[in-house]
């Protein structure tokens, strides 16, 4: 799962945003949070709570208007039905006597229902899947909201990426109720609904995606350059290795570096630990190559190390002992370049795109490099493709264990674009 909106961009918007009748709105959120914590909400059905939820959150907090206003912005049980006779619990948009423009459909469940588990009903869909089933029924519908009162999720294009708000977060007073102000900024009728053109929320999301794609392309250029430099360096310093082995081990080293950088940014490893390893080797006056200390860093990730402030090892296949890799000679100059990967923000800027590219696009890179090697070296490199596939599958599995579920293709990095 990846968030739709970057916190650093939202922070700039929130600093300029004012929530009218702030205390009144917070009071409503706290009432619902209290009902959840004292478990009274768990005793209520969807039908018993749905109208109150719509009135409190959509109308009173977010400012949507209802019929009989001549022009209103929320319609409960919207008119368009699916083939099975079902219809969304609510729709957000512009509703007038001359016609309706639905911009978001809403699926509402009770507090005991998981949003991600199939429901024991026709179709066996999850609530999220059910919400997305309604989306194509409306020409201008760009968003899906799914809630079980415990949490509210905002989806855009896919069921994998969404913005999530829990009642506990909305009621949290930290940073002057930042989570609530973010919720109100993104979903209030003034920002979320637009009669002509894109809403403010859509404009913000579009700007974030453009910026994210540019950063992703920047990373990919640096990533490819570093990998080719590493391949050349391993070939130079380890001439007895076959070309397919060089490719495999270079890719494995890069995978380890990217994975470690990702884990640092999401709190699974100490922050800036990779940079510290390089700095320690150079500033500590140690008479050994950086690569030797870096291998100890990899062991620490696998087994744990109190000395490196990583008491619990990751115990993943990617960092298991590899005699060939451990015997490599790699120059300090290349090892210093590894640190540059860490300058990218995997949490805010690149998490989904970068990891999606690394574990989907890199196999194409390997195949292209190996194909070139076949032509030049009369068939060398055939085995590396299958090895690389196995390595990709193993690394993908470890990322999922670390909480990274989706690995999408990065915009602008198709095989055609890459080989152009």
pLDDT digits (tens, 9 = 90+) for 72-112: 999 998 766 555 567 899 999 999 998 899 999 999 999 99
> Which residues, including other chains, have CB under 8 Å from residue 383's CB and lie 6 or more apart?
244
Distance CA 34, CA 28 (A): 10
| Residue range 63-78: mean pLDDT, rounded | 91
pLDDT of residue 34: 97
pLDDT tens-digit readout, 231-277:
999 999 999 999 889 999 999 999 899 889 988 888 888 888 899 88
Sign of the C-alpha dihedral computed for residues 13, 14, 15 and 20 taken in this order: positive
| Residue range 109-129: mean pLDDT, rounded | 90
Where b means 16+ CB within 10 Å and e means fewer, 183-205 reads bbbbbbbbbbbbeeeebbbbebb
Lowest mean pLDDT among 73-82, 112-121, 126-135: 73-82
pLDDT tens-digit readout, 283-337:
766 678 999 999 999 999 988 888 878 877 877 788 999 999 999 999 999 999 9
User: Within a 10 A sphere around the Cβ of 312, how many other Cβ atoms?
Assistant: 9
Tokens of 14: 């929130």
Distance CA 170, CA 336 (A): 43
Q: Quick check: 252 and 391 in contact, CB under 8 A?
A: yes
pLDDT of residue 211: 85
Sheet containing 151-155: give its strands across.
72-76, 90-96, 99-108, 143-147, 151-155, 162-166
* Secondary structure of residue 49 in the 3-state scheme: helix
pLDDT of residue 336: 92
Q: How far apart are the first and last CA of the chain?
A: 31
Q: How far is CA 358 from the centre of its chain?
A: 14
Report which of 189, 193, 186, 194 is spatially closest to residue 153, judged by C-alpha positions.
Answer: 186
* Secondary structure of residue 33 in the 3-state scheme: helix
Mean pLDDT score of the chain: 84
Distance CA 161, CA 212 (A): 14
Q: Quick check: 332 and 350 in contact, CB under 8 A?
A: no
| Residue range 347-358: mean pLDDT, rounded | 68
Pick 135 or 387 by higher pLDDT. Answer: 135
pLDDT of residue 85: 63
């Amino acid at each position: 799962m990846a968030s739709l909106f970057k916190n650093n961009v939202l922070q700039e918007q929130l600093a300029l945003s004012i929530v009218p009748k702030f205390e009144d709105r917070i009071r409503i959120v706290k009432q619902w949070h209290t009902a959840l914590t004292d478990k009274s909400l768990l005793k209520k059905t969807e039908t018993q709570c749905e109208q109150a939820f719509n009135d409190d959150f959509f109308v009173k907090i977010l400012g949507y208007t209802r019929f009989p206003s001549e022009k209103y912005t929320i319609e409960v049980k919207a008119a368009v039905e699916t083939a099975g006779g079902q219809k969304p619990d609510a729709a957000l948009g512009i509703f007038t006597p001359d016609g309706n423009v639905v911009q978001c459909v809403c699926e509402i469940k009770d507090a005991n229902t998981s949003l991600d588990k199939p429901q024991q009903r026709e179709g066996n869909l999850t609530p999220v899947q059910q919400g997305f089933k309604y989306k194509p029924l409306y020409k201008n519908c760009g968003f899906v909201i799914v809630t079980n009162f415990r949490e509210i999720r905002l989806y855009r294009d896919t069921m994998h990426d969404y913005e999530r708000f829990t009642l506990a977060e909305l009621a949290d007073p930290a940073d002057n109720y930042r989570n609530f102000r973010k919720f109100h900024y993104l979903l209030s009728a003034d920002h979320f609904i637009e009669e002509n053109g894109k809403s403010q929320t859509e404009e913000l999301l579009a700007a974030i995606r453009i910026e994210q794609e540019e950063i992703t392309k920047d990373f990919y250029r640096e990533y490819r350059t570093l990998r080719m430099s590493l391949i050349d360096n391993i070939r130079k310093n380890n001439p007895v290795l076959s070309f397919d082995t060089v490719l495999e081990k270079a890719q494995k080293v890069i995978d380890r570096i990217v994975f470690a950088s990702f884990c640092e940014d999401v709190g699974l490893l100490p922050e800036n630990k990779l940079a510290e390893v390089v700095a320690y080797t150079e500033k500590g006056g140690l008479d050994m190559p950086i690569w030797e200390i870096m291998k100890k860093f990899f062991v620490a990730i696998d087994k744990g190390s109190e000395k490196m402030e990583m008491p619990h090892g990751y115990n993943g296949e990617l960092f298991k002992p590899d005699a060939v890799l451990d015997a490599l000679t790699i120059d300090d100059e290349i090892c210093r370049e590894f640190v540059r990967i860490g300058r990218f923000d995997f949490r805010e800027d690149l998490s989904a795109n970068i990891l999606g590219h690394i574990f989907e696009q890199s196999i194409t890179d390997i195949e292209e490099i190996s194909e070139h090697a076949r032509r030049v070296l009369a068939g060398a490199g055939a085995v590396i493709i299958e090895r690389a596939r196995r390595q990709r599958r193993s690394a993908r599995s470890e990322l999922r264990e670390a909480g990274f579920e989706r690995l999408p293709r990065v915009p602008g990095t198709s095989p055609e674009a890459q080989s152009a």
